[in-house]
């Protein structure tokens, strides 16, 4: 599979039928670490999460975070409840890798380059992937669960596994609508 095919095939998968194998996961992480990083600091750290209780707790944190996506004090609309439940379910049958980086925007950029490498490598391995993003108190709760040391920031939880869904057609901005020359 050449780069263009891999890039075309990479889609967010939100239903998995089986997790990635340990060897596959290690391979994806190794490919991730070939990403560029600010001053070649390679500050990324990975936490492979295979403890079912821990995965359950992280999925619950994602559920609560998604459900909270509304003005404080207002009831949870049905569609938000459904979306939150769906987010929780994306943790089923998936391998979970938490990607951390040292504090700071430069390190965050490197970690995200690393994540993209991992997502593309997953395609080459015949696997699907999904990013779960966390912020605020949710991130702090995960940090406590995995005993993250001071000074590291969670970029995201990445799900890998055998896809159990077809993501459907891409929805892309019109070709060139994002392109400018010299000035906006
Ligand atoms: C920074 C970032 C955070 C994301 N967080 C989530 C998430 O928490 N839950 C989710 O379902 N998808 C998440 N996604 C995936 C996007 O929704 C997805 O990439 C986008 O809809 C385009 O679909 P595609 O990946 O299939 O091309 C995230 C993507 C990025 C880059």
Counting residues of the chain whose pLDDT is more than 70, the rounded percentage is 100
Q: Does 179 map to a domain?
A: no
Verify whether ligand 1 is closer than 6 Å to residue 132 (CB atom): yes
Q: Does 115 map to a domain?
A: yes
DSSP secondary structure string for all residues of 6-33: HHHH--B---EEEEPPHHHHHHHHHHHT
Whether the CB-CB separation of 87 and 148 falls below 8 Å is answered with: no
CATH of the domain at 75: 3.40.109.10
Provide the domain limits for residue 36: 3-163
Using one digit for the tens of pLDDT, what is the confidence trace for 29-51?
999 999 999 999 999 999 999 99
Verify whether ligand 1 is closer than 6 Å to residue 133 (CB atom): yes
pLDDT score at 114 = 98
| Span from the CA of 139 to the centroid of ligand 1 (angstroms) | 17
Using one digit for the tens of pLDDT, what is the confidence trace for 123-149?
999 999 999 999 999 999 999 999 999
Verify whether ligand 1 is closer than 6 Å to residue 12 (CB atom): yes
Q: How many domains are contained in the chain?
A: 1
């Amino acid at each position: 599979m050449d780069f263009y095919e891999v890039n075309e095939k990479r889609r967010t998968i939100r239903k998995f039928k089986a997790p990635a194998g340990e060897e596959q996961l290690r391979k994806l992480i190794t490919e991730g670490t070939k990403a560029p990083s600010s001053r070649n600091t390679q500050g990324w750290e990975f936490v492979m999460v295979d403890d079912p209780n821990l995965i359950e707790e992280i999925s619950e944190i994602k559920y609560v975070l998604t459900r909270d996506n509304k003005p404080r004090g207002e009831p949870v609309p049905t569609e938000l409840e459904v979306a939150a439940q769906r987010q929780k379910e994306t943790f089923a049958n998936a391998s979970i890798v938490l990607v951390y980086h040292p504090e700071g925007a430069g390190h965050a950029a490197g970690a995200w380059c690393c994540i993209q490498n991992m997502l593309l490598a997953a395609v080459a391995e015949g696997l699907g992937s999904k990013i779960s993003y966390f912020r605020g108190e949710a991130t702090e709760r995960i940090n406590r669960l995995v005993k993250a040391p001071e000074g590291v920031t969670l970029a995201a939880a990445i799900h890998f596994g055998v896809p159990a869904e077809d993501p459907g057609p891409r929805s892309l901005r019109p070709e060139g609508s994002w392109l400018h020359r010299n000035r906006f």
